């Protein structure tokens, strides 16, 4: 494995737990604590001193009441000391002096504030009042020990100076011996008590610091672990590139930016040619090294284009880049081919005249927003990749809807669809639809399935567009309607079946008549059928379509609007056609985890309900979502929580058996 891939994989290494008490000694912890304490004292110095000065000056009222004869002197001293202390502190803060000097200023303010009040007060004529009034001196001692967050040393020095001054004044005060002994003892007790509390507070602050430090480190460790797990969940462990999950998220972001802001982008699929033969020849370890080299080289290339690259599975990579011009996309696709070729990794089992590893590249880019869906650009890139492989590999192809070679008619699916019905390659499965109020399965939706001659299933997203473009959808559609009638409706296995109908079928002359013929031959009444029409660009306001829908409704067939909210024609069709049911696309339900998504779903429901249509919500997968649908008054629901698509036999076997609230596939 290369050094670069190894360094990427390092993101997945667990973060080791970190205990500060084990890693740091007592001395280092004390240094950290003092540094944090200094920062806190510096922050608290200004508000602390301002509050202290305000309280100190407000005590002028007690001077006026208790020692009125010397109140003018004490009040003057209060204002002088307070103003001097504040001016000194503000000047120090402006000059950025050390925090220790701020402590000295605050401590000096306490001492001088005490002296500035005490000596003028002691000169009062009423000695008894003065003697009792001196008790307030203990407030300054408590300020030094408890109000300001001085270090223990500064607090002790400050409170000791105040205690000494108290004793000196107490000694010379003309008072009884009893008074001096009682108040002297009180001063010592106050000094001892506040000093002890100050010492305990400092110890507690240190313990709080240790706990906070440990919590901070644990939080950082948890955050790092979370980031590492997130990187792990979004990173391919072999190549270090983004994995499919991460690329799919980025693809949605690119798509959203294009839809909202018009920022076009390209999607490019890259497939390493004959990679299975490479693994068979050189072994899986060499195969892994090959993929790593290719990933590193492409990553360096894509960085210059400010794009994203990820591993899409196996030997396939995907590139997303913001660009909307054909020449830019073609240039990047060709550069990718040449970059892989330049690596010159030996590949001797190709037998196509090339002896090195190469890549086939298929590219597509955003062209028009109207009717577009997210999956379409990937599908187009995949079709372009198919053409690149069909053209001999080691080349790049850009999807071009006007190029006959890019159309689905050139693919094997077109030929397969021609023989699908005769060879039994096409079948139907049925997904239950539940009535929300009764909890019973009241209908099923018929879904078409196609398999290749070797039994491999072909996704509907691939063969349905091919069938529509080639016209095979007409025969397949008639077959589907007839099969639904014979498999489930003729013998009353289910009350109602919905069938997806293409706009191409609705445009075809005689479609309604062919449906009437099928109903007559199978003995099924039209009100047992519902046709689902998907909104989109293909559903233009065509008079033939409107006439056909009107004829179908005369037969009793219900007309449903499918995937409402995902296209651009839905509002117009709601206005023109009286749909029996409107199916709200699953994406709106799955976005209900956010307030914005919940509001969007409620708005759509209100819009449809105001038009008087019944509402069916797709994609219900949890009990919580069922409860939400009941709360919103939805008529019907469909999704894996109600039941998965199953063959007709599953419903035929239930004939005569009481229906259950939930139908599940075996």
Q: How far apart are CA 13 and CA 184, in angstroms?
A: 67
Residue 584 sits at φ, ψ, to 5 deg, of -85, 130
Q: b/e map of 628-649 (b: 16 or more CB within 10 Å)?
A: bbeeeebbbbbbebbbebbebe
CB 573 within 8 A of CB 408: no
* Residues 497/444, Cβ–Cβ less than 8 Å: yes
354, containing H or E segment: none
Helices (H), 96-126: 99-122
Residue 315 annotated among the catalytic residues of the structure: yes
Distance CA 166, CA 293 (A): 84
Q: Where are the alpha helices (DSSP H) in 619-662?
A: 623-632, 648-652
Q: Which residue among 315, 316, 411, 535 is the active-site one?
A: 315
Contacts of 491 by beta carbon, 8 Å cutoff, 6+ apart: 652, 655
The C-alpha atoms of residue 170 and residue 167 are separated, in whole angstroms, by 5
Residue 517, classed as helix, strand or coil, is helix
For residue 68, what is the enclosing H or E element? none
**Coil vs helix vs strand at 266:** strand
What Å distances lie between residue 68 and 65, 123, 125, 221, 411, CA to CA? 6, 11, 9, 64, 109
Q: Give which of 386, 392, 389 is closest to 413, Cα–Cα.
A: 386
Of 44, 47, 26, the residue nearest 150 (C-alpha):
44
Which residues form the catalytic set? 315
């Amino acid at each position: 494995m290369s050094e670069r891939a190894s360094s990427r994989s390092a993101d997945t290494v667990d973060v080791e737990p970190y205990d500060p008490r084990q890693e740091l000694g007592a001395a280092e912890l004390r240094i950290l604590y003092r540094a944090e304490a200094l920062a806190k004292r510096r922050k608290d110095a200004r508000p602390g001193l301002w509050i202290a000065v305000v309280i100190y000056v407000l005590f002028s009222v007690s001077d006026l009441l208790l020692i009125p004869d010397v109140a003018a002197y004490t009040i003057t001293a209060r204002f002088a000391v307070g103003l001097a202390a504040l001016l000194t502190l503000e000047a120090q803060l402006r000059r950025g002096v050390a925090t220790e000097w701020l402590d000295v200023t605050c401590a000096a303010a306490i001492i001088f504030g005490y002296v500035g009040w005490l000596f003028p007060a002691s000169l009062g004529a009423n000695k008894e009042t003065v003697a009792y009034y001196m008790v307030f001196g203990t407030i300054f001692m408590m300020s030094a020990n408890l109000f300001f967050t001085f270090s223990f040393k500064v607090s002790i020095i400050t409170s000791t100076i105040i205690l000494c001054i108290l004793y000196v004044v107490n000694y010379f005060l003309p008072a009884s011996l009893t008074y001096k002994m009682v108040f002297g003892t009180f001063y010592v007790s106050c000094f001892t008590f506040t000093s002890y509390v100050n010492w305990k507070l400092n110890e507690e602050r240190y313990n709080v610091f240790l706990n906070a430090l440990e919590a901070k480190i644990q939080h950082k460790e948890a955050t790092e672990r979370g980031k590492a797990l997130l990187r792990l969940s979004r990173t391919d462990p072999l190549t270090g590139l983004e994995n499919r999950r991460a690329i799919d998220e980025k693809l949605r972001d690119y798509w959203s930016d294009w839809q909202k802001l018009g920022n076009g982008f390209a999607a490019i699929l890259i497939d390493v040619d004959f990679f299975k033969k490479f693994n068979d020849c050189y072994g899986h370890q060499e195969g892994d090294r090959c993929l790593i080299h290719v990933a590193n080289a492409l990553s360096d290339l894509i960085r210059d284009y400010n794009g994203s690259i990820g591993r899409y599975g196996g030997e396939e990579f995907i590139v997303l880049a913001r660009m909307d011009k054909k020449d830019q996309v073609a240039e990047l696709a060709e550069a990718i081919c040449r970059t892989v070729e330049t690596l010159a990794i030996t590949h001797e089992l190709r037998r196509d005249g090339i002896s090195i590893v190469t890549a086939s590249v298929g590219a597509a880019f955003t062209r028009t927003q109207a009717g577009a869906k997210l999956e379409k650009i990937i599908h187009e890139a995949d079709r372009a990749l198919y053409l690149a492989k069909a053209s001999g590999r080691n080349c790049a192809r850009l999807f071009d809807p006007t190029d006959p070679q890019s159309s689905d008619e050139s693919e094997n699916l077109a030929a397969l669809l021609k023989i699908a019905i005769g060879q039994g390659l096409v079948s139907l499965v049925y997904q239950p639809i539940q009535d929300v109020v009764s909890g019973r399965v009241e209908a099923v939706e018929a879904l078409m399935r196609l398999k290749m001659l070797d039994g491999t299933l072909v996704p509907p997203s691939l063969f349905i567009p091919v069938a529509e473009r080639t016209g095979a959808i007409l025969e397949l559609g008639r077959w589907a309607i007839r099969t639904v009638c014979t498999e489930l409706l003729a013998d009353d296995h289910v009350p109602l079946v919905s069938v997806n109908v293409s706009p191409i079928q609705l445009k075809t002359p005689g479609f309604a008549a062919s449906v009437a013929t099928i109903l007559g031959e199978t003995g099924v009444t039209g009100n047992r059928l519902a046709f689902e029409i998907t909104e989109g660009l293909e559903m233009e306001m065509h008079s033939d379509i409107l006439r056909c829908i009107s004829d179908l409704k005369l037969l009793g067939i219900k007309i449903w609007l499918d995937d409402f909210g995902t296209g651009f024609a839905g509002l117009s069709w709601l206005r023109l056609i009286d749909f029996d049911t409107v199916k709200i696309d699953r994406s709106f339900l799955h976005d209900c985890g956010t307030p914005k998504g919940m509001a969007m779903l409620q708005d759509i429901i209100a819009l449809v309900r105001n038009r008087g249509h019944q509402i069916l919500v797709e994609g219900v997968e949890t009990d919580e979502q069922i409860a939400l649908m009941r709360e919103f008054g939805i008529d019907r629901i469909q999704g894996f929580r109600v039941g998965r698509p199953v063959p007709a036999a599953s419903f035929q076997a239930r004939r005569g058996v009481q229906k259950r609230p939930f139908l599940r596939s075996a």
